[in-house]
C-alpha cells in the first residue's frame, strides 16, 4: 500500500479548511463526486463522436470563415509561439502542491480558442475551468490582437491551500486588462455573469467533466449565446452530454482529436 506523503496530509487539511470556510464549495465538490459515479449511465453514445471527427483545420473552417492556409498561418504565428513558451516556462517553475498537469488544457485546445477568437471577433467570451489559465491566456491574446472583447472566467479551485496564486498563473500580466475572474462553481456563478453581459460570442467549457455538469452549463449559457455563437468543450467525448445537447438543439457538432490527451475537443455553432 502507498504510504501517505506530506502532500496527502496538506490535501486533507485543505479539504477541512475549505469545508469550514467555504461550505458551498465543499458541498459542490461532493455533488461532483456523486455525478462522477452516476456517469457510468451516460456513456452509451460515445462511439458516435467518431462520426464527427475532423482534422484541426477542417473543424476550424467549419465554424469560422477561415481556410486552411490562414489557420496554419495563425497557428504558426510568432505570438502563438511566444505565448506557448511563456506558459511552458511559467508552469515548469511551479513547485509544491498545485494543479495536476494532466488536468491542464493542451496547446491544441489553446490554439483552437485563439484562432476562433481571432476569426469571430467576439465582444464577450465566457470560459469555465481556469486552472493555470492556458485557455485563458490564448483567448486573452486573441482579444488583445482583435483590440476588442472581454473574457469572463469561472473557476472552482481544487482544494489546495493558497489556490489563489495558482488560478491563472500562466496568464501573462500584460493580458489581464480584458480579464474578469470569478471564483465559484460554474452553475452557480454563470447566471449572474450572463445577466450583466450582452453579445456572448464564444463559450469555452472546461470545468468539471461529468454529464450533469456539462449539460447544465450548456443549458444555462445557450439562451444568452448570440445566434451564430460558438460553444467549445474540452473532453467532449467523455460522456453523452454534448451529443444529447446538440441533438436537442438540432445542431451538428465537430470534434478535434488531441493525441496527447486521448479525449476530443467538441465544438458547435448556435
**C-alpha dihedral (174, 175, 178, 182), degrees to nearest 10:** -100
Contacts of residue 267, defined as CB under 8 A and 6 or more positions apart, other chains included, come to: 59, 63, 112, 116, 230, 231, 232, 233, 253, 254, 255, 256
Interface residue with ligand SAM, options 80, 112, 119, 134 (CB under 6 A): 134
Site membership for ligand SAM, residue 128 (CB under 6 A): yes
Which of 9-17, 62-70, 98-106, 243-251 is the region at the interface with ligand SAM (rule: CB under 6 A)? 98-106
Q: Would you give the end-to-end CA distance of the chain in angstroms? A: 50
CB atoms within 10 A of CB 16: 12
Min separation Cβ 211 and ligand SAM, Å: 13
Which of 52-60, 90-98, 123-131, 249-257 is the region at the interface with ligand SAM (rule: CB under 6 A)? 123-131
186 vs 127: CA distance, rounded Å: 9
Cβ proximity to ligand SAM: between 220 and 254 the closer is: 220
Site membership for ligand SAM, residue 57 (CB under 6 A): no
Interface residue with ligand SAM, options 120, 169, 185, 200 (CB under 6 A): 185
Contact 255, 54 (CB under 8 A): yes
Cβ proximity to ligand SAM: between 124 and 151 the closer is: 151
Site membership for ligand SAM, residue 140 (CB under 6 A): no
Site membership for ligand SAM, residue 135 (CB under 6 A): yes
| CA–CA distances in Å: residue 143 to residues 33, 119, 178 | 35, 11, 8
Min separation Cβ 42 and ligand SAM, Å: 17
> What values do phi and psi take at 29, rounded to 5?
-65, -40
**Interface map 25-44 toward ligand SAM (x if CB under 6 A):** ---x----------------
Interface residue with ligand SAM, options 111, 155, 237, 240 (CB under 6 A): 155
> What values do phi and psi take at 204, rounded to 5?
-110, 115
Three-state DSSP at 24 gives helix
113 vs 94: CA distance, rounded Å: 24
Min separation Cβ 170 and ligand SAM, Å: 8
Which of 9-17, 97-105, 192-200, 225-233 is the region at the interface with ligand SAM (rule: CB under 6 A)? 97-105
Interface residue with ligand SAM, options 97, 122, 129, 266 (CB under 6 A): 129
Site for ligand SAM in 204-223 (CB under 6 A): 206-208, 213
Contacts of residue 72, defined as CB under 8 A and 6 or more positions apart, other chains included, come to: 57
Q: Which parts of this chain interact with ligand SAM (CB under 6 A)?
A: 28, 103-105, 128-135, 154-158, 185-186, 206-208, 213
Amino acid at each position: 500500500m502507498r504510504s501517505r506523503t506530506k502532500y496527502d496530509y496538506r490535501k486533507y487539511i485543505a479539504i477541512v479548511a475549505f469545508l469550514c470556510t467555504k461550505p458551498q464549495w465543499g458541498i459542490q465538490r461532493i455533488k461532483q463526486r456523486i455525478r462522477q459515479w452516476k456517469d457510468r449511465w451516460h456513456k452509451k453514445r460515445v462511439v458516435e463522436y467518431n462520426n464527427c471527427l475532423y482534422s484541426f483545420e477542417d473543424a476550424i473552417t467549419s465554424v469560422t470563415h477561415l481556410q486552411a492556409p490562414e489557420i496554419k498561418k495563425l497557428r504558426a504565428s510568432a505570438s502563438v509561439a511566444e505565448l506557448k513558451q511563456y506558459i511552458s516556462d511559467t508552469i515548469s517553475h511551479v513547485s509544491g502542491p498545485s494543479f495536476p498537469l494532466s488536468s491542464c488544457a493542451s496547446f491544441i485546445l489553446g490554439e483552437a480558442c485563439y484562432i476562433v477568437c481571432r476569426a469571430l471577433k467576439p465582444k464577450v467570451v465566457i470560459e469555465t475551468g481556469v486552472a493555470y489559465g492556458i485557455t485563458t491566456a490564448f483567448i486573452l491574446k486573441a482579444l488583445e490582437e482583435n483590440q476588442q472583447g472581454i473574457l469572463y472566467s469561472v473557476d472552482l479551485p481544487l482544494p489546495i491551500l493558497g489556490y489563489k496564486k495558482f488560478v491563472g498563473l500562466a496568464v501573462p500580466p500584460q493580458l489581464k486588462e480584458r480579464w474578469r475572474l470569478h471564483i465559484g462553481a460554474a452553475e452557480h456563478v454563470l447566471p449572474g455573469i450572463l445577466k450583466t453581459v450582452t453579445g456572448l460570442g464564444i463559450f469555452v467549457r472546461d470545468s468539471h467533466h461529468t454529464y450533469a455538469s456539462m449539460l447544465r452549463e450548456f443549458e444555462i449559457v445557450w439562451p444568452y449565446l448570440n445566434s451564430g455563437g460558438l460553444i467549445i468543450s474540452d473532453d467532449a467525448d467523455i460522456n453523452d452530454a454534448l451529443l444529447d445537447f446538440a441533438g436537442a438543439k438540432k445542431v451538428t457538432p465537430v470534434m478535434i482529436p488531441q493525441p496527447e490527451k486521448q479525449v476530443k475537443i467538441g465544438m458547435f455553432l448556435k
